[in-house]
Amino acid sequence: MAPQGFAFRPMRPADQAVLWEILHVALWDPPPAPLRPRAVLDSPGVRIYAESWGRAGDVGVMAEQPGTDAVPVGACWMRLVPDAQGLAYVDDTTPQLGIAVLPPWQRQGVGRPMMLAALDAARDAGYRQVSLTVHPQNPAIRMYESCGFRKAGLRNTFHLMVARLGPAPADIQ
């Protein structure tokens, strides 16, 4: 359930432009560091997370401020990245997750429910687990843990975290 004033919907290929903006915010560095230069989005190691959004296996949730324009406020998305690519690579069947809330809407309670909605969508898509990496100083680690992620190792000083996705509650007999 979305916090008051926000709505969630599945991500679609038409979200490509806003996904680049959200990915840029997701590349978090500890304060007082500013956002990285936009040129980082041209790096092949970054592009793999957003390029050509909407291909088979892509799963994501867009958070919006409802209204006539449905302003995007954040997204939680995941995709399979084969051939051992990506900092959060676990195996060819585990999608790597990205999440960010755009600055004007941060710290308003949208991140956790958005991530839970995306994890439900991943479960519904048949994924058994999801991975991510996070800077050790990022306070979002607590939120990730509250959503079921557990630390599973280090990748270039970043925590590798994995959430195992059990059956949906309706699937449990």
Angle at 170 between CA 108 and CA 10, to 5 degrees: 45
pLDDT for the residue numbered 173: 46
Residue pair 22/74 in contact (Cβ under 8 Å)? The answer is yes
**If we measure between CA atoms, which residue out of 95, 151, 142 comes closest to residue 122?**
95
Q: In which order are the strands placed within the sheet that holds 96-101?
A: 7-10, 59-65, 71-79, 96-101, 129-134, 158-164, 149-155
Map out the domains of the chain as residue ranges.
7-126
**Backbone torsion region of residue 153, taken as left when φ is above 0, otherwise alpha when ψ lies between -120 and 50, otherwise beta:** left
Q: What's the CA gap between 106 and 140, in Å, rounded?
A: 11
Q: What's the CA gap between 92 and 80, in Å, rounded?
A: 7
| Eight-class DSSP state of 37 | P
CA distances to 26, 76, 108 from 73, in Å = 13, 11, 11
**Tens of each residue's pLDDT in the chain, 173 residues:** 677 789 999 999 999 999 999 999 999 999 899 899 999 999 999 999 999 999 999 999 999 997 778 899 999 999 999 899 999 999 999 999 999 999 999 999 999 999 999 999 999 999 999 999 999 999 999 999 999 999 999 999 999 999 999 875 554 44
Domain topology for 7-126: Aminopeptidase (3.40.630)
